[in-house]
Structure 1
């Protein structure tokens, strides 16, 4: 098995040990002008070297003929602002663009009153959502519009995170909060490591014979829900759907120099890696609830492109599974000192495991 086996100990398994102080001024409100001009902290694991650069120079650090694996899932405008039948304000956040077998969609509902079955929520142009099922605190509604995807494209709001302008998106976010290679509609949050890529970056990668493979993981709220237990081994991740078609699976299986773009791409790769190779059928949807943290071996990649993540988040723990909790927090401290921009619209980090 490749890489550093993370040490399993009580210190690394305590939620409280993944906290850090971040000045509010370093939370990025908008991406930098020209996505590829974001800062990039490069960490070479074997040499323990830290380099500060810009993302446009990504190709300088990757071996020739290596493979970048990106998540091509596309964010859909899943926030609806409307009113209850009684006139009070409501917000419905759609978690899945596809209806289930009963024709229902799982949603989050924000109102000031208790939710009840058959309650209706009303939106512009006559759209109505009726609450049909409440299960374990989860809400499932029926919409009166069969072509909901088209309706959302016109009337829905892009679901930027609450720490960006209190979650209130605008027309600029429609473009900003989407990767340039987004294709398969289904995510309620962007795979943000990919937001730094532009055609100029891909051209420089192609000049070095660095290729690209696409996977699809539809990002759900489970990735971003807070960990509520202090012992990480007791945390249960929500499931997310992923998919790899035959063409891209062949690329992945045929390359041993694989670099994941983002935590979601890495979760796909690790979910279908058996420790020695990728083991799954192409062109078929799977579900994963994999939780990567110190003590869990990561075998599928030689490196990771990622952003700087929230304190105590599962994403921070995922990065720690690669380089250890102490080193991760040390790099974050360095990034804060150099005023890197954090979170979804922030700067990037490149982890190189074999350099």
Structure 2
């Protein structure tokens, strides 16, 4: 493998705007899939539904069961000025750190209304630029109200400013994996969006174990890198957990050298964190940032979407398959009009 390049600009690529997916595939399992074979350097064009036959026999699939919270809240000030809050971190029940758009004139102690008045919060404290600490009324009811009235926290490259109720309902369903069960994420583990219950059943029938881990996707996953030398980047910590039974299974699989296929970079980060801690913890906070050179302890294959240029996600994938190989695959994906980012197509790296 070529020597490691630590410059952020080395993880850049050109992407036509038209290839950024604005909507998911009509059916979850109808995405296209680029297959990258690390051993022979081959790249081939497949469909996601073929994953059942491509996974190694007797391997293990690891999925992230985090559930995305509906934490994008359109709102307004008492003056009528329009604002929008993205809740990014729960400090305590009903108290959230939030990124607020058009927050310049908000005053400490001001009452803000969100989602047509169904949610109300006091602007308790101004934090960093554009960030506030918001204290919500009736904190014990907040999670239920977010589920009912909040909008999915779609990334900014998906345009939804004029979305109607029908579009919002579709996003609530499709920006969530079919196996999501543990509420806590502010972004979806997008590699999991391609799966259907039927595909998972077929995989199980082929004798492949499916294990669930949890990593609540937060700012750490999608915050941009602001330094030119990627080794200086610091990740925001994100909460992870695995059950005692899953931890024991993972230890056994690792010991027996069973092939482990991670669904998404968040699953990778959980497994590598567990391995680094010698399987002595099963929950906590991880700020692991994986970049070359890195020797993976717990992964033999990866299903992942196409990521933003110069992102921590792209750098992690590069560490697994090599930067030159990955950039070559991205160029092919662009040439063949693959759909990029959260609602886009995927690649399977074996």
TM-score using structure 2 length: 0.91
Q: Is the 8 A contact 1:70 1:214 kept in 2?
A: yes
Out of 62, 81, 87, the residue aligned to residue 94 of structure 1 is 87
Q: CA deviation at 1:107?
A: 1.1
Q: CA deviation at 1:109?
A: 1.2
Look up the SS of the partner of 1:343 in the other structure: coil
Aligned to 1:260: 262
Aligned to 2:126: 134
Aligned to 2:23: 30
CA distance in 1, matches of 2:345, 2:75: 35
Q: CA deviation at 1:278?
A: 4.6
Aligned to 2:338: 340
Out of 58, 64, 85, the residue aligned to residue 65 of structure 1 is 58
Aligned to 2:313: 315
CA distance in 2, matches of 1:7, 1:181: 39
Gaps (5+ residues) in structure 2?
none
Aligned to 1:279: 279
Out of 110, 115, 122, the residue aligned to residue 113 of structure 2 is 122
Choose 202-211 or 164-173, whichever is displaced more. 164-173
How do residues 66-81 of structure 1 correspond to structure 2 at under 5 angstroms? 66-81=59-74
Aligned to 2:145: 151
1:54 aligns with 2:47: yes
CA distance in 1, matches of 2:119, 2:176: 26
Aligned to 2:96: 105
Q: CA deviation at 1:223?
A: 1.3
Output one character per residue of 1:107-157: Cα deviation in whole Å (capped at 9) or x when no partner: 111125244422321133453211223345553221112210111112111
Aligned to 2:182: 184
The 1:38/1:309 distance shift into structure 2, 3 A limit, reads same
Q: CA deviation at 1:221?
A: 2.3
Out of 191, 194, 197, the residue aligned to residue 196 of structure 1 is 194
Gaps (5+ residues) in structure 1?
none
Out of 263, 268, 271, the residue aligned to residue 269 of structure 1 is 271
Q: Is the 8 A contact 1:291 1:314 kept in 2?
A: yes
Look up the SS of the partner of 1:309 in the other structure: coil
The count of aligned residue pairs is 339
1:42 aligns with 2:44: no
Look up the SS of the partner of 1:317 in the other structure: helix
Q: CA deviation at 1:215?
A: 0.6
Q: Is the 8 A contact 2:63 2:263 kept in 1?
A: yes
Q: CA deviation at 1:332?
A: 0.3
RMSD, aligned CA = 1.9
How do residues 206-355 of structure 1 correspond to structure 2 at under 5 angstroms? 206-255=204-253, 256-274=258-276, 278-282=278-282, 285-352=283-350
Q: Is the 8 A contact 2:77 2:112 kept in 1?
A: yes
CA distance in 2, matches of 1:295, 1:347: 27
CA distance in 2, matches of 1:84, 1:334: 48
CA distance in 2, matches of 1:182, 1:278: 27
Output one character per residue of 1:320-353: Cα deviation in whole Å (capped at 9) or x when no partner: 111121111111001111211111111111111x
Output one character per residue of 1:274-303: Cα deviation in whole Å (capped at 9) or x when no partner: 3xx852333xx3111111112233221101
Look up the SS of the partner of 2:325 in the other structure: helix
The 1:127/1:199 distance shift into structure 2, 3 A limit, reads closer
TM-score using structure 1 length: 0.90
